[in-house]
Structure 1
Amino acid sequence: MTAPETVPTTDAPRPSRYSMGSLSNMLRSLLFMGLLVAALVAIVPRISEVDRPAVDALGKARATMTQTGGTLELPQGLGDGWVPTVATYGPGTEGVPTFTTVWETPEGGDIALKEATEVTEGWVDRSVNDGAREGSVTVGGRTFERYVARGGSQVSYVERSGDTTLVATGTAVEAELKTFVAALREVTPAP
């Protein structure tokens, strides 16, 4: 009779100290992950502001005037630091065709100029960011309705002339807004 064959027994491998889940191991892992995140944050560039290139607001206004047969106004002679960054024509709030330009001011604010005909009250409300009317202001011989949005962070000037409405609004200080609307002149058609 032969002896039953025996299978050699080996000791099971010891589990890793790191897989046992001790508090000290967890803290080491968190420290290592924190160092990795800190290194990534240190090497990734951060942008504090986006430079918007200037656009040809006058060219867009002239093209829009040719397309619509209407008239438009733009500021003229503002000087250095006033940069048009947006110039569009298309359906605005409630489908009202709107010519819009946005200007960066010397102090870093923005002023949006919106011009449209046959506007609705909803269009005006949205254009002034649902601001409340707070009287009127006269600038350069023109009288504008003055609106202030909640918190006072946005002041808007609205001029209604015939069936044309003009809204100048933005985050610029009010002195810059006055300078902007005082410089508004009718755009001459392209030669």
Structure 2
Amino acid sequence: MTRDTFLLQDQKELQHMNLSTDRPLKRQIMQVAEPYTLVQARHGWMLANPSDFYIGKAMLEYGEYAEIEGQFLSQLFVRPGAVVEVGANVGTHTVALARQAAQQRREMFAFEPQPFIFQNLCANLALNGITNVRAWPWACGAKAETVYFSSPDYNAPGNFGGVSMHASPANRGGPGNSDSRISGKAGPEPAIMAARKGSGNDET
């Protein structure tokens, strides 16, 4: 194969993963405590998990994940008020959206129910000096209740952004029960409502 053929394959792979092609593929990477790797990504330093074969791998290989999707979301900042991100994962979109929100003097609320992923989210917010985001380790739904999800092995290859919440545990006791539980709470609704009252506007 020629060099042009390899470049074409790289661009096709980028397009398949919803990544932009206007950035060099080389970047600074630093090995830290397992399972994490610190990478200088498009929007700042990010702690990535190489075992995540979608988000983690994309961050390490390209320094971004679903960048086109993030650019689309940034275009929704047309209405004033607080910004809410449900399912923030490790913050690949949160960091960039939070900076945009800060420029408009907005507060942002980010929700990520997986405890392990939530810690990664908070680390990435801290690494980039994001101060206008309030992160919550909760799932979001129409009512307050308890939900369950099967905890993956975050040290083994997997799709950690594809974890689903359920109203009942998949594993009902006994050896090998790996279900995690998130108890229903009133959550940060009062804080969000207070932000809306303070600004006199709806949230985005």
Specify the TM-score bucket, using the shorter chain as the normaliser.
Answer: under 0.3
Q: TM-score, normalised by structure 2?
A: 0.23
Q: TM-score, normalised by structure 1?
A: 0.24
Greater strand percent: which structure?
Answer: 1
Which structure: larger Rg?
1
